[in-house]
Amino acid sequence: MKKDTSYSLLYKIKRFKRDINQWSIATLAIVFIIAFPVITIFLKLFSGPGETWDHIVATLLPEYTKTSIALIIGCSVFTLIFGVSTAWIVSRYDFPGRKMLEWLLILPLAIPSYITAYAYVGVFDYGGTLELLMESVNITLPKIDIMNTYGLIFVLSFSLYPYVYVSARAVFLHQAGNLIEASKLLGAGELKTFFKVVFPLARPAIIGGLILVLMEVLNDYGAAKYYGVSTFTVGIFRSWFSLEEPDTAVYLSAILIVIIFGLIVLERFQRRKKKYHNASKSNRPLCRKNSKGVQKIGLICWVGIPVFIGFLIPVAQLLYWAVLTYTDVFSVAFFYTALQSLGIAILSAVITVIIALKLIYFTRWNKIKQINLVAKMSTLGYAIPGAVIAVGVMIPTLFIDKWLYRVLREAFSWEVGLLINGTIIGLIYAYAVRFLAVAYSPIEGSVSKVGEGISESSMMLGAGRWRTFFSIDIPLIKKGMWSAVLLVFVDIMKELPLTLILKPYGVTTLAVKAYEYASDEMIAEAALPSLCVILTGILPVIFLNRLITK
Amino acid sequence: MRYLIIAFALLVISCKNEKSQKAETPEQKEKVNEVNVYTHRHYESDQKLFALFEKETGIKVNVVNASADELIQKMTAEGEQSPADVLITVDAGRLVRAKQKGLLQGVESQMLEINIPEHLRDKDNHWFSLTKRARVIVYAKDRVKPEALSTYENLTEDAWKKKVLIRSSNNIYNQSLLASMIAHKGEEEATKWAKGIVDNMARTPKGNDRDQVKAVVAGEADVAIVNTYYIGKLLNSKNPEEVTAGEGVGIFFPNQSERGAHINVSGAGIAKYAPNKENGIKFIEFLSSPAAQKVFADSNYEYPVNASVPASDLLQSWGTFKEDVLPLSALGENNKKAVLIFDTVGWK
């Protein structure tokens, strides 16, 4: 018996030695670099929580848990209802204005949710836009208080549902065609077809989108803080900065990570071993049905709701504020800020996507399948609040910086400052850590849809790994890649806490500018930079839409 | 592989660029002639002042904006390599914290000692106040007679049940207000006060100071505790509704027959490892000068700390008041206790 185990252990080692190749090593290296901040935070867990941990458990933790769960449930329900139904309607039915609504539905993604939150206060406020409008037609509405948990669910849901919409629609458009026809031929009605065929088919994509939503929800800081809702992230900032206990903050983040991890496991579990790429060769796109009469109006109205609430109303409010304040805000420096913002976001997005691509393909090329699981770890950064990532990045890189400083001084008597911290390198590194998951999902999606057959054939015909990669794989997954670049780009344009902490001298992004105004209680002045963030977000969103529908 | 090499080369080049900016010998650093400012303040008036300073002295001002807490964490992490020369916060408590963590250093400057009254600077000259604001009670002009008001403590009376508004305890101004109470009356009394305010709150805390004022004017409550300069901002807002809100409230300076109204300050200190210490001192001296103080006073509705500079007309119209001269270091020393008390009494 004993001999057996040692034999099998020996065998395992031998097999491991045989299977290890440059791709395994490269994968592990990337994972290590990306996961380093997360590991840093994780290691800090062992140093124990700060001294106020007990106090927080007793006084605040129940509240944090309650509100976070309420947000998870509330936002799941709303984003699923609006995300899936609108995706289905625009994929399945034809009605006037459909083409425009199709991309309008994605646009809320371009607005940072804290900006939407501010805008809605402007709408529902005392003397706010709604009150003024109602006064002009002589109606007195009861005051609608939006600054509470319900309001936060409302705001977050309508600014984040596009994650669900985008993922659901991609499946509906490209994969459902044949199956729907089959289902119809077999006599199933419209509703039955949807619930029995279309929805289960799209479920992994929808859940994938939903998880992105929930991560954003749990990471939100600006909106929750302003609305006076105590969430985990608000608690993390509070114990970190107000109570000065990073260790306690790390404990809170750990709980948050456990929640997110639970969600991911749940998703994997429900997906299990099913493969969702459609093997049939003639993958016919879905034929749209013409709608008529009342149905037409109903569909337009329903699809219009999220567009209005998530995009048009906040933008209108911001435009109104911008008109009031643009003379104060607009300047040459403002242009410069906009350019900087764009440059940083594009560069970081491209780098992040390259890392994601490598991670996905390297794991495929290596032979040790356990590494796939490890690779997944590096996408955990998205689950961690930006501020925590920032510090997770700062601790190890400062260590490296200081080491470099010493070495360079002793060896070459160079007096260099910090090379990573407070430079663009540190910032981009942190963005990559945070947003790798955003790049990972769409690329992974298209890679798994393509399957391995074609690249295997290519390699069998004698093309090398890289040649196959560049001339076969890349063209096939181009759509996924572009979506990844654009999603990361938009996210970086909106990103706030991490940027605030790690940005170098003289670098200001539009999001930071907007936040500065808002935190100085000049919310109207924040409108112009916010509108610019939105504008730069809109163009890629339209482009993204072209890609999906093409 | 080719692409990998190209990508890597690009990365190296981008690193190189950073290096060439950063790799300076100490002598070169002097030549750059700059001052690195970590600041929590980001008003347009500050930008104006920085530009003015650059023009007058030829010293380039580099700014990093973030909240004071985040900047303190950043400086702690950077340690001796920190490029920061000057730390500016909007609250004395944070300056005290920075001092306690050994992030600041004392400086000799006669000009600062003349320009800034003693109770508004650190006893070891680790930091200096630049502007003042009072945390006052505002009341709905149409419903409340100012005679009914007296002290912060008075707001916990039953007469004010469901009539008081104040923002979240995450807010540093509230933390400092409670810290001052702990310093004056001890933890027990301070806890009682916080509990009393929570009982009298018209709603759970939310929004910012301006939102509290708007809600008072709309009738959701009768009084609110806010900073003076926000009233100035409301009255000068581009949004007509905000002006109406500002006009709807009266300003009451509490505790005038005893310790005085609680004040807080924006202030600055020289970083412990400041690479451009002299420039940093010049910079703070400039900000305390009458010319700069006038900019602070006129465009941001804050009270100047330099006694030779009068407050703006608007501020003068609110009248003079007795201010709490508690050494501001007490705000920092009692900050953590204050935060814990807020949690205990359920002040969200």
The two beta strands, B104-105 and B128-140, are: unpaired
What residues are paired with B136 via a beta bridge?
A: B226
Which whole-number Å values give the CA distances from A413 to A401, A408, B27, B79, B275, in the listed order? 15, 6, 13, 20, 18
Residue A209: its pLDDT value, please? 87
Residue A276: its pLDDT value, please? 52
Q: Please tell me which residue of chain A has the smallest CA distance to B166.
A: A228
Is-same-fold flag (A20-44+339-549; A50-275+295-329)? yes
- From B114's Cα to the closest Cα of chain A, the distance in A is 30
**Cα–Cα distance for residue pair A326/A126, rounded to 1 Å:** 23
Contact flag B73-A246 (C-beta cutoff 8 Å) = yes
Q: Please tell me which residue of chain B has the smallest CA distance to A58.
A: B344
- From A237's Cα to the closest Cα of chain B, the distance in A is 9
Residue A6: its pLDDT value, please? 60
Secondary structure class of B266 (helix, strand, coil):
strand
**Cα–Cα distance for residue pair A110/B34, rounded to 1 Å:** 37
Q: Which amino acid is at A42?
A: F
Contact flag B241-A128 (C-beta cutoff 8 Å) = yes
What residues are paired with B164 via a beta bridge?
A: B201, B223
Q: Could you give the angle at the alpha carbon of A230 between the alpha carbons of A225 and A232, nearest 5°?
A: 100
Q: Give me the residues of A, 403-432, that contact B with CB < 8 A.
A: 405, 414-419, 421-425
The torsion of the CA quartet A197, A198, A204, A207, rounded to 10 degrees, works out to -120
Contact flag A425-B14 (C-beta cutoff 8 Å) = yes
- From B123's Cα to the closest Cα of chain A, the distance in A is 24
Closest CB to B206 among A126, A227, A321: A227
Closest CB to A126 among B83, B215, B233: B215
Q: Give me the residues of A, 257-316, that contact B with CB < 8 A.
A: none
Which whole-number Å values give the CA distances from B53 to A533, B129, B287, in the listed order? 31, 18, 9
Note whether A548 and A483 are within 8 A (CB): yes
Q: Calculate mean pLDDT across residues A324-350.
A: 84
Residue A292 has pLDDT above 80, yes or no: no
- CB distance from A146 to chain B under 8 Å? no
Q: Can you read off the two tokens belonging to residue B236? A: 């000068």
Residue A116: its pLDDT value, please? 93
Q: Give me the residues of A, 68-127, that contact B with CB < 8 A.
A: 121, 125-127
Q: Give the range among A122-131, A215-224, A272-281, B167-176 with minimum mean pLDDT.
A: A272-281
Residue B87 has pLDDT above 90, yes or no: yes
Most A CBs within 10 Å, among B4, B40, B203, B208, to test the A interface: B208
- From A165's Cα to the closest Cα of chain B, the distance in A is 31
Q: What percent of chain B has pLDDT over 90?
A: 37
Tell which wins on pLDDT, A108 or A383. Answer: A108
Nearest-10 crossing angle of helices A527-549, A313-329 = 130
CB pairs under 8 A between A and B: 164
Highest mean pLDDT out of A147-151, A177-181, A362-366, A377-381: A147-151
Residue A503: its pLDDT value, please? 78
Over the stretch A454-500, which tens digit does the pLDDT of each residue have? Answer: 777 877 887 777 788 888 788 888 878 888 888 899 889 888 878 87
Contact flag A419-B211 (C-beta cutoff 8 Å) = no
Supply the mean pLDDT for chain B: 85
Closest CB to A520 among B22, B42, B346: B42
Closest CB to B81 among A127, A241, A401: A401
Q: Can you read off the two tokens belonging to residue A242? A: 């107000």
Model pTM score: 0.79
- CB distance from A365 to chain B under 8 Å? no
Q: Give the range among A116-125, A239-248, B129-138 with minimum mean pLDDT.
A: A239-248
Residue B180: its pLDDT value, please? 93
- From B157's Cα to the closest Cα of chain A, the distance in A is 25
Q: Give the range among A155-164, A319-328, A358-367, B194-203 with minimum mean pLDDT.
A: A358-367
Residue B3 has pLDDT above 70, yes or no: no
- From B348's Cα to the closest Cα of chain A, the distance in A is 7
Note whether A95 and A518 are within 8 A (CB): no
Residue A160 has pLDDT above 90, yes or no: yes
Most B CBs within 10 Å, among A520, A522, A525, to test the B interface: A520
Supply the mean pLDDT for chain A: 81
- From A372's Cα to the closest Cα of chain B, the distance in A is 22
Residue A337: name the closest of A64, A536, A110, A99 by CA.
Answer: A536
Q: Calculate mean pLDDT across residues A373-396.
A: 76
Which whole-number Å values give the CA distances from A29 to A155, A315, A461, in the listed order? 40, 44, 30
Q: Please tell me which residue of chain B has the smallest CA distance to A396.
A: B77
Task: Give chain B positions within 8 Å (CB) of A242.
Answer: 69, 170, 175, 335, 339
Q: Calculate mean pLDDT across residues B251-263.
A: 91
Residue A505: name the closest of B84, B271, B279 by CA.
Answer: B84
Q: Which amino acid is at B158?
A: D
Residue A310 has pLDDT above 70, yes or no: yes
What residues are paired with B128 via a beta bridge?
A: B121, B268
Name the H helices within chain B.
2-22, 26-32, 44-57, 68-78, 92-100, 110-115, 172-200, 209-217, 228-235, 240-247, 277-288, 290-300, 313-317, 329-333, 335-345
Over the stretch B31-76, which tens digit does the pLDDT of each residue have? Answer: 578 999 999 887 777 888 899 999 999 999 988 877 787 788 788 8
Over the stretch A49-95, which tens digit does the pLDDT of each residue have? Answer: 778 888 888 888 888 889 989 999 999 999 999 999 999 898 888 88
- Report, at the CATH architecture level, how domain A20-44+339-549 is classified: Orthogonal Bundle (1.10)
- From A151's Cα to the closest Cα of chain B, the distance in A is 12
- CB distance from A466 to chain B under 8 Å? yes
Contact flag A226-B206 (C-beta cutoff 8 Å) = yes
Residue B21: its pLDDT value, please? 41
- From A466's Cα to the closest Cα of chain B, the distance in A is 7
Give residue limits of the domains in chain A: 20-44+339-549, 50-275+295-329
Over the stretch A195-230, which tens digit does the pLDDT of each residue have? Answer: 877 788 788 888 888 888 988 888 888 888 888 888
Note whether A418 and B83 are within 8 A (CB): yes
**Cα–Cα distance for residue pair A41/A37, rounded to 1 Å:** 6
Q: Could you tell me how far CA B261 lies from the centroid of its own chain?
A: 16
Residue A549: its pLDDT value, please? 66
Beta-carbon count within 10 A of B146 CB:
13
Task: Give chain B positions within 8 Å (CB) of A501.
Answer: 66, 70, 73-74
Contact flag B175-A127 (C-beta cutoff 8 Å) = no
Is A50-275+295-329 in CATH node 1.10.3720.10? yes
Which whole-number Å values give the CA distances from A308 to A85, A106, A227, B110, in the listed order? 16, 12, 21, 61
- Per-residue confidence at A8, pLDDT binned at 50, 70, 90? confident
Q: Give the range among A19-23, A237-241, B79-83 with minimum mean pLDDT.
A: A19-23
Task: Give chain B positions within 8 Å (CB) of A516.
Answer: 42, 65
Q: Please tell me which residue of chain B has the smallest CA distance to A127.
A: B241
Q: Please tell me which residue of chain A has the smallest CA distance to B212.
A: A126
Q: Can you read off the two tokens belonging to residue A203? A: 């479920």
Over the stretch B261-286, which tens digit does the pLDDT of each residue have? Answer: 999 899 999 999 999 999 999 999 99
Task: Give chain A positions within 8 Å (CB) of B3.
Answer: 470
Q: Can you read off the two tokens belonging to residue B106? A: 């004392």
Q: Calculate mean pLDDT across residues A510-533.
A: 84
The DSSP result for A69-109, as a single string, is HHHHHHHHHHHHHHHHHHHHHHHHEE-TTHHHHHHHTTGGG
ipTM value: 0.72
Contacts of B11 (CB under 8 A, 6+ apart): none
Whole-number CA gyration radius for chain B: 22
Helix or strand run (H / E) with residue B226: strand B223-227
Note whether B112 and B121 are within 8 A (CB): yes
Secondary structure class of A247 (helix, strand, coil):
helix
Residue B177: its pLDDT value, please? 93
Helix or strand run (H / E) with residue B37: strand B34-39
Note whether A84 and A168 are within 8 A (CB): yes
